[in-house]
Amino acid sequence: MKKLAITILLTSALFLLLSVRPVMAQQTTLSISPPILEVFIKPGKSILVAYTLQNISDPVIVKAKILPFEPAGNLGNISIKDEFEGPIRFNLDNSDVKLEQSFFLKTLGLQQLLLRIRVPEGTPNGDYYYTLLAETEPPPGIGGNVSSRTKITIGSNILITVTDTGSIDLRGKIAMFDVIPRFNLNIVGRSIKFFDSNDKIPVVLFMENKGVNFVKPEGEITLRGNFGETSNYEIIPQNVLSQSQRLLSASPSAEFRKSTSLVISGFFLGKYNLNATVNLGESGTTLFATTSFIALPFRFMILLLIVAAIVFLIIKKTSHNEVE
Amino acid sequence: MKSKRLFITCLIFFCLVLFVPNVNALNMDSSSFHIQGGNINIGSSTASASANLAMTLGQLAAGSFTSFGYVVKAGFQYIHSIVPFSFSISNTSIDFGELISEVAKTDTANLRVSFGGAGNYQVTAVEDGPLKTYDSVPFDDTSCDASGCDETAAGVWDLSTTHGFGYNMTGQDIPATFTTCYNINNPKLCYRRFPDQTTTPTPEPPIVVMSSNDVTVDLTSRPKNIYHQSTITFKINSKPDQAAGTYQTVIGFVATPSY
């Protein structure tokens, strides 16, 4: 009985050892939700939004803050400004947590941040873009050694449209809609784009927002072939901020090494037309653009020519030998 | 009797270890909404000839603009659920120990972004001043071999006579400069230095170290968790006349989803 008890104890200890999760020392992992907020609001109003901040690693000291951002480039990146600006007022309604004040977040700890967003009376109509940031404090330095400590900050973007009538300025244009060809031929001032029949077709679609409010373009890209075959690719509704450009994405799409809106894979033969239809919203305009390309089996043709040339040379040599 | 008690205790312990189930937070899913924890967010996509709208209701104050004066939408419309954005670094303390002049040392950390199917994000990095001692004796940032790198462009750093502090990146979604600076297949030799936000008169802006604009979502499928991971290698090489001391700095990483 005693031996059995010891066996069970040892087996349990072994299971415990094998099932224990490895502890990653000095690791920091933060999670925030929701990742984006879009607010349409009248001046003089305020709203309360609940964010969830979670720490999935070692205990950390965190500080929450709000900073404005602007779009950087045309791929959806942002540039966060150093100082707060703008008429919008933010504060946390939490009793124990305030903006710009540090708080402790234990391992697997959840902190709900009750963000109050207030738009003062008289705030001019327009868009205001901010990021809610949660920043960790770096660990203490290691005395006597050369070391670099790291701190992480995680953000969630807030897009605020202030409008006293509810109407939104939806103005834009398609800045560019084209394919990235394998090679281009200029004939009589016209550019003809060529692909090999087995090539992937990368398509780029840039949307420019000329209005004062952000837009969420929707629509589709349609591919039409020689024989009436069509394929439709839905444009993913991504925000284009005021007075900026963005590369839109469509689905489903294959992968490509460069930034593209859509990559179409398959076997192509002949002339194809691509049409983009972009709708800016319920009361906005619909934008159209078109482009085309020609696909021919160049690789196959070149291979065929090489084989034909080799065969021709062999036949010629054989005939010459026979004559001799 | 004593053996019997010991046996029963061990048996109970064994059962607890083997059969205790994992605790899962409440999650409810369907094709049109995702309820997560206590923060209920309901999103659905209703397509019509003139509008395609996703509304966020519940805790985040529902209601039409005319009745309440505001409309709030949370999450990405094309994901149809609210997927948390998370970022992690595997090593917050990069310890080079004691340095020997012209003997380079490295240390690494993994950067990981999780964003479900939304995909669009960026991670930027900036240093809070160069490595320096408590007396502000600086340790220069690297310029790589033949002064071939700066804050934006990576260059080869292989010579033991090239001093300074810099970093290399490998893995997913890293800037192209880390793979194009070197012709032979060894991108681990491509380094650049961190921008310094304490530079005067104009602070150097943070630089993007990871980014993706690929929306890796199939609009017909359920949301799924997708990780993007890269490895950052910090490198340091001391010059012979570098003053002795404890050199330290802080590198700040900021991870944000796209808009």
Chain B CB contacts of A42 under 8 Å are: 65, 69-70
Examine the domain organization and report whether B121 and B53 are in the same domain.
no
Per DSSP, what are the bridge partners of residue A59? none
Examine the domain organization and report whether B32 and B123 are in the same domain.
no
Q: Please tell me the predicted confidence (pLDDT) of residue A87.
A: 97
> Among A210-214, A248-252, B220-224, whose mean pLDDT is lowest?
B220-224
Rounded to a whole number of angstroms, the distance from the CA of A271 to the nearest CA of chain B is 28
Distance CA B21, CA B6 (A): 25
The CA-CA-CA angle for residues A164, A168, A173, to 5°, reads: 155
Chain A CB contacts of B36 under 8 Å are: 33
Residue B10 lies in a domain: no
Residue B173 lies in a domain: yes
Q: Tell me: the pLDDT tens digits for A218-232?
A: 999 999 998 888 999
Tell me the pLDDT of chain B averaged across its residues: 76
In the block, residue with structure tokens 């519940």: B58
Chain A CB contacts of B37 under 8 Å are: 52
**Does A4 contact B7 at a Cβ distance shorter than 8 Å?**
yes
Rounded to a whole number of angstroms, the distance from the CA of A304 to the nearest CA of chain B is 34
Which DSSP symbol is given to B214? -
**Does B83 contact A33 at a Cβ distance shorter than 8 Å?**
yes
Residue B3 lies in a domain: no
Distance CA B105, CA B133 (A): 18
Q: Taking the CB of residue A291, how many other CB atoms lie within 10 A of it?
A: 19
Distance CA B157, CA B1 (A): 72
Q: Is A1 helix (H, G, I), strand (E, B) or coil?
A: coil
Q: At what angle do helices A2-19 and B2-19 cross, to 10 degrees?
A: 20
Examine the domain organization and report whether B96 and B217 are in the same domain.
yes
Tell me the pLDDT of chain A averaged across its residues: 89
Examine the domain organization and report whether B155 and B223 are in the same domain.
yes
A26-138+151-162 and A172-301 agree in CATH topology: yes
Examine the domain organization and report whether B138 and B190 are in the same domain.
yes
Q: Taking the CB of residue A210, how many other CB atoms lie within 10 A of it?
A: 14
Residue B130 lies in a domain: yes
**What is the number of domains present in chain B?**
2
Residue B159, CB-side half-sphere exposure with 13 Å CA sphere? 13
Contacts with A169 (C-beta within 8 Å, 6 or more apart), sequence order? A211, A212, A213
Among the partner residues A5, A16, A34, nearest to B17 by beta-carbon distance: A16
Examine the domain organization and report whether B123 and B67 are in the same domain.
no
**CA nearest neighbour of B40 among A52, A110, A36, A40:** A52
Please state the rounded mean pLDDT for residues A284-288: 84
Q: Please tell me the predicted confidence (pLDDT) of residue B56.
A: 27
Q: Which phi-psi region, left, alpha or beta, contains residue A92 (left: φ > 0; alpha: ψ -120 to 50)? A: beta
> Among A95-109, A175-189, B71-85, whose mean pLDDT is lowest?
B71-85
Q: Has residue B40 got a pLDDT over 70?
A: no
> Among A136-150, B103-117, B226-240, whose mean pLDDT is lowest?
A136-150
Q: Has residue A316 got a pLDDT over 80?
A: yes
Q: Do the bridges between strand A190-196 and strand A286-296 make them parallel or antiparallel, or are there none, so unpaired?
A: parallel
> Among A23-32, A163-172, B121-130, whose mean pLDDT is lowest?
A23-32
Q: Is A175 helix (H, G, I), strand (E, B) or coil?
A: strand
- Which of B82, B103, B130 marks a domain boundary? B82
Under a CB-based contact definition with an 8 Å cutoff, are residues B192 and B150 in contact? yes
Residue B5 lies in a domain: no
Q: What is the pTM of this model?
A: 0.80
Fold held by A172-301 = Immunoglobulin-like (2.60.40)
- Which of B33, B67, B82 marks a domain boundary? B82
My answer on whether omega of the bond before A252 falls inside 30° of 0, hence cis, is yes
| Residue B32: pLDDT band with limits 50, 70, 90 | very low
Rounded to a whole number of angstroms, the distance from the CA of A110 to the nearest CA of chain B is 11
| Residue A138: pLDDT band with limits 50, 70, 90 | confident
Both tokens of B29, joined, read: 């899913």
Q: Taking the CB of residue B112, how many other CB atoms lie within 10 A of it?
A: 21
Distance CA A311, CA A319 (A): 12
Query: CB under 8 Å, gap of 24 or more: what pairs does B19-25 form?
Result: none
Examine the domain organization and report whether B146 and B220 are in the same domain.
yes
CATH architecture of A26-138+151-162: Sandwich (2.60)
Residue B19 lies in a domain: no
Distance CA B204, CA B151 (A): 9
Q: Do the bridges between strand A28-33 and strand B85-89 make them parallel or antiparallel, or are there none, so unpaired?
A: antiparallel
Examine the domain organization and report whether B78 and B95 are in the same domain.
no
Residue B1 lies in a domain: no
Q: Enter the ipTM.
A: 0.83
Range of the domain at B57: 24-82
Please state the domain extents for chain A: 26-138+151-162, 172-301
Examine the domain organization and report whether B93 and B61 are in the same domain.
no
Q: Taking the CB of residue B233, how many other CB atoms lie within 10 A of it?
A: 16
Chain A CB contacts of B208 under 8 Å are: 77
Examine the domain organization and report whether B123 and B207 are in the same domain.
yes
Distance CA A169, CA B205 (A): 32
Under a CB-based contact definition with an 8 Å cutoff, are residues A110 and B212 in contact? no
- Which of B45, B65, B82 marks a domain boundary? B82
| CA B51 to chain centroid | 36
Rounded to a whole number of angstroms, the distance from the CA of A6 to the nearest CA of chain B is 8
| Residue A274: pLDDT band with limits 50, 70, 90 | very high
Please state the rounded mean pLDDT for residues B21-45: 33
Examine the domain organization and report whether B236 and B157 are in the same domain.
yes
Q: Has residue B80 got a pLDDT over 70?
A: no
Distance CA A159, CA B125 (A): 24
More confident residue, A38 or A253: A38
Count Cβ–Cβ pairs < 8 Å, chain A vs chain B.
281
Examine the domain organization and report whether B118 and B168 are in the same domain.
yes
**CA nearest neighbour of A213 among A286, A261, A283:** A283
